[in-house]
Amino acid sequence: MANQEDNFKKVISHAKEYGYVFQSSEIYDGLSAVYDYGQNGVELKKNIRDYWWKAMVQLNDNIVGIDAAIFMHPTTWKASGHIDAFNDPLIDNKDSKKRYRADVLIEDYVAKIDAKIEKEVKKAEKRFGDSFNKKKFLETNQRVVEYQEQGKSILSRMARSLEKEDLADVKALIEELDIACPMSGSKNWTDVKQFNLMFGTKLGASAENAMDLYLRPETAQGIFLNFLNVQKSGRMKIPFGIAQTGKAFRNEIVARQFIFRMREFEQMEMQFFIQPGTQKEWYEHWKENRMRWHLSLGMGEDNYRFHDHEKLAHYADAAADIEFRFPFGFKELEGIHSRTDFDLGSHEKFSGKKLQYFDHETNRNYVPYVLETSIGLDRMFLAVFSNSLQEEELENGTTRTVLKLPAVLSPVKAAILPLVKKDGLPEIAKEVIDDLKWDFNVTYDEKDAVGRRYRRQDANGTPFCITVDHQTKEDQTVTIRHRDSMEQERVSISDLRRIISDAVDMRNWLKKI
Ligand code: GAP
């Protein structure tokens, strides 16, 4: 546990030191759960957004994008259910005065049971070696089966109680499980209460005429409200999708995990409009498709898993998360939700406008069902960044800090380094930059010995270092050093564009989906 915490602290300080993520308003002591992206962070974030957008919009001829406003008519949130049901169940510890999400306390308890299961699996794997069958072990080992049943029964009781709004039973469950405040160890809890997560604001100059508004808590509703505009203007035929990326706001109560849970964050959402009755097959389709997108980045299959929801949101008839192994354990990275016709149906009711599709093949009108994929851009950033940050022991006994970002996402693709600051080498390096900068984000560095510059670029996540030396003047060749293997090769300047492009071009990565 201490190790996990240390690793996470390293991630946060590295993100600051290398210009990826800063605490918002730091000179005023910061604003809790609000963050700014620095010069490298903004590039990484943009690359992740582009990687998603290309996979969704450019590569699917039946998915188009929009950019809806953050402010929306307030009735939107009545219709969507957010005014009545977008709540977190909160509980306070009377001794430490700390506030928690009751469901998170219970889920963390179950995560500890899961960790015990994983420990048993690891032990058995060691014992049985190649003949180990994980699936069979999970089904037959008495202790592991008991752990699994225990976890399942806790989660389904919590889901039932939350569904029925039986908050007294949620508290009873916390007490029965003997859950203590993680800060103080105290078990002196208040009752569980619901708390709405939307931020309110006002539109209009004078107090009498001002209209109460909310900052959108999800981007999805901008897509629902534009469903007919896009369908008609784009002559879209079902099945089709609308994608959007943009800011969302939630007054999160438990916001202690850096950019994992923020009050202002960015979502990348896609609503796929389908014929009612086909939702099961599309649900499976998008679960698989999204998992393939994640795996295409090569961050390790073992770091992902699906988690099917026990407690369904008010709009869903099926839902699963893609969970990622963050520095603090497996947590939700993306949600795939079968939202039925809840949203369009409800907006029809509240607006009095028809939001239906006329199907020429069956000659009938219907309210489409919706399959949603929803991922937090900041959370994806944290997944990529934390997974990439590594301390490597080198053969000569030293260690190096290296940010092994998938090259396609790296903010800077290559650093151009003159071996020395004289003899015309800086001038050649600048010529190389002037040629490469049209295709790639590249940087120039001439300060310190070349070994230190390599380390700096390793820690920055730059996949290539290109060194201009005296031989360059003779034969127009340079050395190119690969961040991950640290191997160096001598190549012609005229080959640089092709070599970098092979490694970083989105086309090569997206083809793996
Ligand atoms: N439209 C559906 C929706 O918003 P959600 O599960 O509440 O569903 C989707 O959110 C994704 O948005 C999550 O999987 C997560 O990646 C991201 N997300 C949600 N709340 C967040 C927060 N407070 N900070 C950062 N990312 C968040």
Give the whole-angstrom CA distance, residue 12 versus residue 133: 38
pLDDT of residue 2: 55
Spell out which residues line ligand 1, taking CB within 6 angstroms.
218, 220, 250, 252, 261-262, 265, 267, 269, 332-335, 372, 374-376, 378-379
pLDDT digits (tens, 9 = 90+) for 37-64: 999 999 999 999 999 999 999 999 999 9
Q: Name the CATH topology of 44-74+197-388.
A: BirA Bifunctional Protein; domain 2 (3.30.930)
How far away, in angstroms, is 212 Cα from ligand 1 center? Answer: 24
Report which of 509, 385, 403, 498 is spatially closest to residue 457, judged by C-alpha positions. Answer: 403
Report which of 302, 308, 304 is spatially closest to residue 293, judged by C-alpha positions. Answer: 304
Most informative mutation of 286, 304, 373, 374 for ligand 1 (most atoms within 8 A of CB): 374
Cis amide prior to 239 (ω within 30 degrees): yes
Q: Which two tokens stand for residue 201?
A: 């604001």
CATH 3.30.40.230 fits 87-196, yes or no: yes
8 A C-beta contact, residue 417 and residue 456: no
Determine which residue's CA is closest to atom 4 belonging to ligand 1. 218
Q: Which two tokens stand for residue 405?
A: 């970002």
Per-residue pLDDT at 3 exceeds 90: no
How far away, in angstroms, is 387 Cα from ligand 1 center? Answer: 20
pLDDT digits (tens, 9 = 90+) for 276-300: 999 999 999 999 999 999 999 999 9
**What's the CATH class of domain 412-510?**
alpha beta
User: Pairing state of beta strands 87-92 and 99-101?
Assistant: antiparallel
Domain 44-74+197-388 and domain 412-510 have a common topology:
no
For the chain, the domains span 44-74+197-388, 87-196, 412-510
pLDDT digits (tens, 9 = 90+) for 326-336: 999 999 999 99
What angle in degrees, to the nearest 10, is found between the helix axes of 167-176 and 142-163?
150
User: Dihedral through CA 6, CA 257, CA 116, CA 404, nearest 10?
Assistant: -60
Determine which residue's CA is closest to atom 14 belonging to ligand 1. 334
8 A C-beta contact, residue 173 and residue 75: no
Q: How confident is the model at residue 275 (pLDDT cuts 50, 70, 90)?
A: very high
Give the whole-angstrom CA distance, residue 384 versus residue 400: 19
Determine which residue's CA is closest to atom 10 belonging to ligand 1. 374
User: Pairing state of beta strands 264-274 and 240-249?
Assistant: antiparallel
Q: Which two tokens stand for residue 387?
A: 């997974």
How far away, in angstroms, is 128 Cα from ligand 1 center? Answer: 40
* 123 φ, ψ (degrees, to nearest 5): -60, -45
How far away, in angstroms, is 376 Cα from ligand 1 center? Answer: 5
